[in-house]
Amino acid sequence: MDKTRIASTRPALRRSRDRTRALAALAVLAGSLVLVACGGGDEGEGATTVPNATTAPGGVEEVLGPVAAASGTPVKIGMISDGKGAVTDLSFEGPVADATIAYLNERLSGLAGHPIEVVKCDTLADPGKGTDCANRMVEEDVVAVVVGSSSVVESIWTPLHESKIPVVFGGANAATILTDRESTFVLVDSAFSMINLPISLAKENKLDTVTVVAIDVPSVMSVYQKVAPAAFEKAGVKLNLVAIPPGTADMTPQMQQLVGTDTLVQLVGSDSFCIAALNGMRTVGFSGPVTAIAQCITDATRKAVPGDTLKNVTVSATAPVGTDNPSTKLFAAVVEAYGEGKGIEVNRQGSLSMFTTLAALQSATENLTGDVTSESIIAAIKAMPEKPLPGADPMKFRCGGLANPATPAVCVRGGLVTSLDDKGQPTGYRAVGSTPIAG
């Protein structure tokens, strides 16, 4: 295998056209969904079970399934995380990875029958450390790397790609990553929450207009100015963009234009941004359908916005947290059996998404036979049939460039959505836009 060490001062590759860059901006937000819990929040801190997660007949053992232990020569898998830094705290990803690998090794025969050993490295959200972590994976001779979420994905990806080591991303934010056909696999549909979902919901509600109320920052504006217009035009839905500067505390004047209109409103911004938008819509009396990206809805939103305003708001998600379903039951059982004392919060999208990223790698290589190498893993993933996406019921995934020709690294179509109840909590999740990925 040709493995090349990349100097940490090497600049990230940025050679794609405007449209591809805008697609990358979509993935910035899509990837960051894993950092936000749609349900639970602080109330779930330190929890290791969720209601009804392990109360099926037979308890945890039935949920986990029979023992099928891995054997033979171990294989090394890398796990790179931002860890706990000055900006974000993703320190939970390490304990989740440990518990997940213990489950895979004991119940699902590891990776192609071999026990998985994990090599972990934290970037601290520093591009230089991201490159250093990737170089360490090359030196440690790992056969694949998983990245749940990171703000320095290009720094991580470049040395691994140069060394032909496959990388599975829970979410990614670079055009070079999304358009790679060789060795990169991304488990989030970057266009779903910001473009495809509002179009789909507008049609469901028999509306011909979507009003996007979005935070006025370059990464968001590039999406709605460069990529979204063509998609909306093709769908026959009018796009009305309301760009609002960050830090605007009272959005009542901007929301006034919604009065008397038949439109679906799409909210794109942080929780503080969406609090101002939702309260502004309440003030002017707007009662039409509303959808929001996951960052909008946190415990802060629930405290600041009346429940009757949040009721029936549709929210996109990467994991079905906060509800009783097969994915949350399985993850809770994994944490109870293999993560005791690790302080893992199960009612958190980021935790379940880390589980998904590792379990998806195992599932995608289930039919691999012979030597386990980076080359054989890439071939197995590209040849996989469509399968359920672990931890994201009822989503499916299939890699190999079949999900979206424009972003061949992406392995899924559509995403999960939920409607909020009168307390702003998620109800049941459904898959939207998750059409079969045929080969």
CATH classification at residue 97: 3.40.50.2300
Q: Is the four-CA dihedral 70, 74, 79, 83 of positive or negative sign?
A: positive
User: DSSP secondary structure string, 275-307?
Assistant: HHHHHHHHHHT--S-EEE-GGG-SHHHHHHS-H
- The pTM of this model reads 0.81
108 and 145 share a domain? yes
Q: How far is CA 244 from the centre of its chain?
A: 26
Determine contact, residues 261/231, Cβ cutoff 8 Å: no
**Which three-class secondary structure state does DSSP give residue 358?**
helix
Q: Could you tell me if residue 165 is inside a domain? A: yes
Please list the residues that pair with 429 across neighbouring strands: 418
143 and 217 share a domain? no
- Distances in Å between the Cα of 159 and the Cα atoms of 3, 77, 79 are 9, 16, 15
When pLDDT is averaged across residues 70-85 and rounded to a whole number, the result is: 95
266 and 167 share a domain? no
Determine contact, residues 422/310, Cβ cutoff 8 Å: yes
Q: Could you tell me if residue 429 is inside a domain? A: no
Q: Which amino acid is at 118?
A: V
Q: 23-27, 405-409, 429-433: which has the minimum mean pLDDT?
A: 23-27
109 and 124 share a domain? yes
When pLDDT is averaged across residues 332-357 and rounded to a whole number, the result is: 92
Look at residue 386 and tell me whether its pLDDT is greater than 50: yes
Determine contact, residues 407/300, Cβ cutoff 8 Å: no
Q: What is the pLDDT of residue 46?
A: 32
**Which three-class secondary structure state does DSSP give residue 94?**
helix
The reply to whether omega before 394 is within 30° of 0 (cis) is yes
Q: Could you tell me if residue 307 is inside a domain? A: yes
Whole-angstrom Cα distance, residue 363 to residue 384?
9
Q: What is the pLDDT of residue 88?
A: 74
Burial class (CB in 10 A: 0-12, 13-18, 19+), 71: exposed
Q: Are strands 314-317 and 290-292 parallel, antiparallel or unpaired?
A: parallel
**Which three-class secondary structure state does DSSP give residue 122?**
strand
Q: What is the pLDDT of residue 3?
A: 55
Q: 83-87, 111-115, 300-304, 335-339: which has the minimum mean pLDDT?
A: 83-87
Q: Could you give the number of structural domains in the chain?
A: 2
Whole-angstrom Cα distance, residue 150 to residue 207?
37
What range defines the domain where residue 302 resides?
Answer: 192-317
Q: Could you tell me if residue 392 is inside a domain? A: yes
Determine contact, residues 421/438, Cβ cutoff 8 Å: no
Whole-angstrom Cα distance, residue 66 to residue 108?
9
- Residue corresponding to tokens 């109840």: 421
- Distances in Å between the Cα of 323 and the Cα atoms of 11, 308, 328, 393 are 43, 20, 7, 11
